[in-house]
Chain A
Amino acid sequence: MVPVTYYLVLSAILFTIGVAAFIFKRNIITIFMSIELMLNAVNLSFVAFANMHHNLDGHIFVFFVMVVAAAEAAVGLAIIISVFRTRETLNVDRVNLLKL
């Protein structure tokens, strides 16, 4: 049997890749995908912990995270379309009307 630590380390690596991609990628769709990666990394942790504790809370949490991620994707893509319609670009560096 694979020890739980392996899963947790994998989950931490995936989460970090997600964070790095969020910061360094310039395309809005890719940034959005990196958020999904982060959420799925968290899901892996939940399942690993649920297995470790022998209770179902973690599994149930994963279902809710998946549902929320789907809702977020629906809204997120709609927002991306509205950005594309007004700016004709999906590069975050050029979506810069509001100065930081």
Chain B
Amino acid sequence: MMTNELQYLSILPELILTIFGMLIMVLDPLMADRASRKPMGWLAFVGTLAALGATFYQGTHPVAGTAFFGMVRTDAFSIFFHVVVIVIAALAILSSLDYLETQGIRSGEYYGLILLGTVGMGLLSSAMELVMLFIALEISSISTYILAGYRRRVAASAESSIKYFLLGSFATAFFLYGVALIYGATGSTNITAISQALHNNHISSLTYLALVLMFVGMGFKVAVTPFHVWTPDVYEGAPAPVVALMSTGPKAAAFALMLRVLFGSFGELSQWWLPLIWISAALSMTIGNVGALLQNNVKRMLAYSSIAHAGYLLVAFAAGQDMGIAAAIFYTATYAAMNVGAFAVVSHFASRGERYVSIDDYAGLGRRSPVLAITLTIFMLSLIGIPLTGGFFAKFYVFSAALKSNLVWLTIIGLVNSAIAAYYYLRLIVVMYMKEGDDSVTLVPVPVATAAALLIAAGLTIYLGVMPGGVLGYALLGAQDLMR
């Protein structure tokens, strides 16, 4: 047991994010109605930087261990995911700053909600108790429900929000029922205590039911087939920077939750949940990629692509062991970098009222705005998995872990799918460079904040593709901490 002061260090990033979130909520009404809310955005950005600093402090100082009666644990695993979600939040804030101006939304709470949602995502990766996991899951979900409906006067945005809300709550109820049953079966809600109980005692049929119900709940949150149907609709209607956030942040956090629950608590039953993961992975990759082929809306295409990427991630789950888990952790980070970047381009390009979101609108972008086109190309190449981009190593580690675990068929399905995926990502690149543009699509110069977000995202994507060693090493540490 740690001393009190040290305990607070283990939730320091969350504390900082909460304070900044509250501060924004309080300051926002004090501003003049018509005033731009950019200062609030910058304040939120400073908050994410401070939280990032706190996370690095955790990483370099000996605060590792459990705190608050085993509620949270700070280790390499939690620190890795904290860095991922906080960076995602920072980039989402940067790309929102000018987006909100363009859309005529004057609201500071928007930034507050991003910060508070990040608190939930962070806690999801460090919680060791199902109560805590449930609350963290809800903090991150409820904030994103609101954010999805932020273009209040637009029917599509409200519809996206209600769909996300109803299906998200539905999934939460399933997850919760699973938690209730596993509590009934083992008499505890602690991740490690459950694992010990399953190891020592006879495994009752209640446990299997609990596992399936929790899998349904988590499947919805990470959007894997057959629980993916909400994804394209929600991503199409929600504001583009919010999609950048919610296709990566809550998703990475939900994958952290899934890793904790499946490997932390139900490791004993891995023979039993493996087929579930196998089928879900194969279906997600196939349906995601085939669905994306048919889309003409960029946001919808990226939504299907996110389903496919969730499938690749599940392949790493199926591979298991340290290497598979490390590959999964590495994949969430890489996917976050490239997807946030892609959506930052989409949110800038969409213009007022999100008019330009179809693939044809991108025609001639290579000539009209070479810089924007090149950055988008980097993200697309990374999403395909071309060498020198992060996406290549992410896929490489996942599939080599899968081969090591003798998942030959799953690897073949994955590789075939990667080839299919190349088609629709390349299609966007071809449209940008080979097709003559229509000058009716207005193009505004890239604002500084968006440019910074793009630069950071592109930089991270290439960094992960050129020197993946350091990050992978840390992911491996995280995997070992998870299995301990």
Contact = CB atoms under 8 A, between A and B. Distances in A.
B233 A98 contact: yes
Contacts of A2: none
A64 B162 contact: no
A87 B155 CA distance: 7
Binding site of A, secondary structure by majority: helix, strand, loop or mixed? helix
Interface in B153-208: 153-156, 158-163, 165-166, 169-170, 173, 176-177, 179-181, 183-184, 187-189
B177 A42 contact: yes
A46 B138 contact: no
B183 A79 contact: no
Given A46-B183, A57-B183, A82-B149, A95 B159 contact: yes
A31 B166 contact: yes
Given A42-B177, A45-B181, A79-B162, A98 B138 contact: no
B69 to A, nearest CB: 12
Nearest to A99: B233
Contacts, number: 122
Interface residues of A, number: 44
Interface string B396-414: 0000000000000000000
Interface string A50-87: 00110101101100110010011001101110110111
Nearest to A8: B184
Interface of B is mostly: helix
Interface in B221-238: 229, 232-233, 236-237
Contact of A68 (B138, B158, B166, B180): B138
Contacts of B138: 68, 71-72
Given A64-B131, A82-B152, A83-B158, A39 B180 contact: no
A100 B334 CA distance: 29
B166 A55 contact: no
B176 A79 contact: no
B146 interface: yes
A44 to B, nearest CB: 9
B22 to A, nearest CB: 16
A98 B180 contact: no
Contact of A38 (B146, B158, B163, B177): B177
B134 interface: yes
B221 to A, nearest CB: 15
Given A32-B169, A58-B180, A71-B138, 6 more contacts: A45-B181, A61-B134, A64-B134, A68-B138, A83-B158, A96-B159
16 contacts: A15-B177, A31-B166, A35-B170, A39-B173, A42-B173, A45-B180, A57-B188, A61-B180, A79-B161, A82-B149, A86-B159, A87-B159, A95-B162, A98-B160, A98-B233, A100-B233
Which 5 A-B residue pairings sit nearest by Cβ, starting from the closest? A38-B173, A49-B184, A86-B155, A45-B180, A98-B233
Interface of B: 130-131, 134-135, 138, 142, 145-146, 149, 152-156, 158-163, 165-166, 169-170, 173, 176-177, 179-181, 183-184, 187-189, 229, 232-233, 236-237
Interface of A: 8, 15, 18, 22, 28, 31-32, 35, 38-39, 41-42, 45-46, 48-49, 52-53, 55, 57-58, 60-61, 64-65, 68, 71-72, 75-76, 78-80, 82-83, 85-87, 95-100
